[in-house]
Chain A
């Protein structure tokens, strides 16, 4: 079915449109390639034997680490070419190009505030001090001696996306500051027990070993609930962009708090009110008050196929698929509308449905070839229902900036073009 949804560049699409318009004999979604590449492809198509079967392929060892197929070279992080600066910036996951629920490490979204440090793990230390019985220092070898665990959780930047226009064209433009991985490390609770928390311990200030020495304050309850000190991601050691050799993981909490390159945990009675939790990552309401310490990412979903920038090649069967997630636990239900929100159908949730992880949903669909607006809404196990953008704006206004978990509709035109219905 993938041949009916293309993601080609504009020139290819306009060529195809001209071709379709000029040839009433062409039926359905059958589309010929254009120009020289069509001739080259034909030689590899039935009944001919393709070139790659007529000579041996690359020998073992030609790629000691491995890389995607050269034909997938367009599947890369979505990094704006118009950033004010690149030391403190973000790059997005190409959500609409991915299947399943796991984000490949090379495509995991990035956000750093002082560049990506190169840290020798042999010289990295984690210091744990403050309101503890025994202040401690751990090497990476020390941390790997603790009982380990692996869990699948999403991570999302809280400003994903903002509340004010312009809105992005693609799913990645809109909510690409979102990824999901299997994380391996040690429960933070175990490490805190090693030091012994004093009764006055209420917060932990986590600090990164980057050039921003980024700090965030985390309630002790979260540290004892499901927080992890992570050293591996999807089976391999963390990438430098994700905090090598050690990061904090706070499942369901805004990305910025999941401090990378973690070097210090300061147990305190009060939060730090650091720059990141006062001037940033606070939510400004229309009346001039601002919400502070707003940590949870609420339930959210997005259709990734078909989605903005893609093209339905022909009417007929299409699978609608996307991802849903909630910082408050498991996704209970995802509903999809194909008639601009007038009616909703339950989508199929693909197993596994995990707490604070991406959940893949699917809905079979017969497109009649007429203009349509499709959208999804997530319901989590707390019965919270993903709201519309209008509902969010009515309460929060356009200055809020963080935690926009709005339903995002896609418009499908009669020619199959898919665009952002709210842009």
Chain B
């Protein structure tokens, strides 16, 4: 009994010691600390729940203007696709022989739309749109898909609150699914 207590104490001490060592010191001492400002400047990741979405907002009507100037040449005037992906429609087709995968029919999370537009669009000048413009374009694309009204203005909270039609249709990887 006593032996077990001693063993337990020693084990607990060793675990704490190794955890403290891992926390206290880097093994090689290579690299320098990243400051909060540096991280904030580079960390543009938006979570699927809307975490890390920036301040600001944008309306469908403003988004229509930005889309016409920045997006329509590749995605079509109404998001019907062209050089760039089709963005609109396809709802009800995903389980058919000819699925049309768009933001409205396929994408599970609305904040992902903000994340992608901000980091990668427009293709010839990524990261050139203001956060307000990105909210606005997101709102317009969601409006074209019938997911927000024409008078909608989206911000971090309202964008994250949108339930995308296909959200519950994603499942885990079941492979190996074909095996002899």
Residues of A within 8 A of B (CB): 84-85, 87-88, 113-114, 127-129, 133-138, 142-143, 145-146, 190, 193-196, 205, 207, 211-215, 263-264, 266, 268, 270-275, 278-279, 282-284, 286-296, 298, 384-385, 387, 391-392, 394-396, 398-399, 403
For the A-B complex with A215-B45, A279-B101 known, give 10 more contacts whose Cβ atoms are closer than 8 Å: A114-B120, A193-B27, A194-B27, A196-B22, A211-B123, A213-B119, A272-B46, A273-B108, A290-B169, A296-B173
- Minimal Cβ-Cβ distance residue in A for B40: A129
| Contacts A114-B123, A273-B112, A279-B106; A135 near B169 (Cβ below 8 A) | no
Nearest chain B CB to A35's CB is how many angstroms away?
44
Q: Separation in Å of the B95 CB from the closest CB of chain A? A: 3
Are A290 and B171 in contact, with the CB atoms below 8 A?
yes
- Name the CB-closest residue of A to B39: A129
Chain A residue with minimal CB distance to B94? A288
B 35-58 contacts with A by CB, 8 A: 38-39, 42-48
Given known A-B contacts A196-B26, A266-B45, A292-B172, A215 and B119 have beta carbons under 8 A apart: yes
Q: Are B45 and A272 touching (Cβ within 8 A)?
A: yes
In the assembled complex, the CB of B172 is this many whole angstroms from the nearest CB of chain A, namely: 7
Q: Inside 8 A of B126's CB, which chain A residues have their CB?
A: 114, 211-213
Distance (whole angstroms) from the CB of A209 to the closest CB of chain B = 10
Residues of chain B with a CB closer than 8 A to A395's CB: 177-178
The verdict on A212 contacting B119 (CB below 8 Å), with A114-B126, A146-B30, A290-B169 known, is yes
A190 to B27, CA, bound (A): 9
Chain A residues within an 8 Å CB radius of B116? 274-275
- In contact, B27 and A135 (Cβ under 8 angstroms): no
Write out the residue numbers on chain B whose beta carbons fall within 8 Å of the beta carbon of A291.
Answer: 170-175
Contacts of A274 on B, CB cut-off 8 Å? 112, 115-116
- Docked-complex contact B123 and A396, CB < 8 angstroms: no
CB distance from A288 to the nearest CB of B (A): 3
Instruction: Say whether, besides A213-B119, A288-B169, A290-B171, A138 and B23 are in contact (CB < 8 Å).
Output: no
B116 to chain A minimum Cβ distance, whole angstroms, is 4
Tell me whether B178 and A387 are in contact (CB under 8 A).
yes
Task: Indicate whether A137 sits within 8 Å of B38 (C-beta atoms), given known contacts A113-B120, A289-B170.
Answer: yes
B119: A residues at CB distance < 8 A: 212-213, 215
- What residues of chain B lie closer than 8 Å to A114, measured between beta carbons? 120, 123, 126
Contact of B38 among A127, A146, A286, A294 (CB under 8 A): A127
Bound form: Cα–Cα A129–B41 in Å: 12
- Closest chain B residue to A294, Cβ basis: B173
Q: Is the CB of B169 within 8 A of A136?
A: no
Nearest CB of chain A from residue B82's CB, rounded to whole Å: 9
CA distance A275 to B119 in the complex (A): 11
Task: Verify B179–A129 contact, CB threshold 8 A.
Answer: no
Question: Are A270 and B47 touching (Cβ within 8 A)?
Answer: yes
A212-B119, A290-B171, A403-B175 known; A272 and B83 CB under 8 Å? no
Contacts of A135 in B (CB 8 A): 33-34, 39
Which B residues lie within 8 Å of A145 (CB)? 28, 30
A279 touches B107 (CB 8 A): yes
Smallest beta-carbon distance A164→chain B, Å: 10
Q: Are A211 and B120 in contact (CB-based, < 8 A)?
A: yes
Q: A291-B173, A293-B173 are in contact. Are A136 and B107 (CB under 8 A)?
A: no
A-B contact list, 25 entries, CB within 8 Å: A114-B123, A127-B42, A137-B34, A137-B38, A145-B30, A146-B28, A146-B30, A193-B22, A194-B30, A212-B119, A266-B45, A272-B47, A272-B48, A273-B48, A278-B107, A278-B109, A278-B112, A279-B103, A282-B170, A288-B96, A289-B170, A291-B170, A291-B173, A294-B175, A391-B178
- Please provide the 4 A-B residue pairs with the shortest distance between their CB atoms, ordered closest to farther: A288-B95, A273-B48, A294-B173, A213-B119
Residue of A nearest to B93 (CB): A288
Minimal beta-carbon separation of B83 from chain A (angstroms): 5
CB < 8 Å neighbour of B123 from A87, A215, A287: A87
Whether A142 contacts B30 in the complex (CB less than 8 A), given A212-B126, A391-B178, A392-B178, comes out as yes
- Please state if A194 and B26 are interface contacts (CB–CB under 8 Å): yes
CB contacts (< 8 Å) of A193 on chain B: these are: 22, 26-27
Interface residues of B in 123-180 (CB under 8 A from A): 123, 126-127, 169-180
By the criterion CB–CB under 8 Å, are A205 and B170 in contact? no
B residues near A196, Cβ cutoff 8 Å = 22-23, 26
CB–CB A134/B30 < 8 A: no
Q: Is B2 an interface residue (CB 8 A)?
A: no
User: Which of A84, A211, A394 counts the most B-chain CB atoms under 10 A from its CB?
Assistant: A211
The yes or no answer to B4 lying at the interface (CB within 8 A) is: no
Smallest CB separation, B65 vs chain A (Å)? 23
Tell me how far the C-beta of A124 lies from the nearest C-beta in chain B, rounded to whole angstroms.
13
Q: Which residues of B contact A146 (CB under 8 A)?
A: 28, 30
Cβ-defined contact, A194 with B169, below 8 A: no
Q: How far is the CA of A99 from the CA of B149 in the complex (A)?
A: 59
The complex places the Cα of A250 from the Cα of B179 at a distance, in Å, of: 24
Query: Contacts A127-B42, A136-B31: A270 and B172 contacting too (C-beta < 8 A)?
Result: no
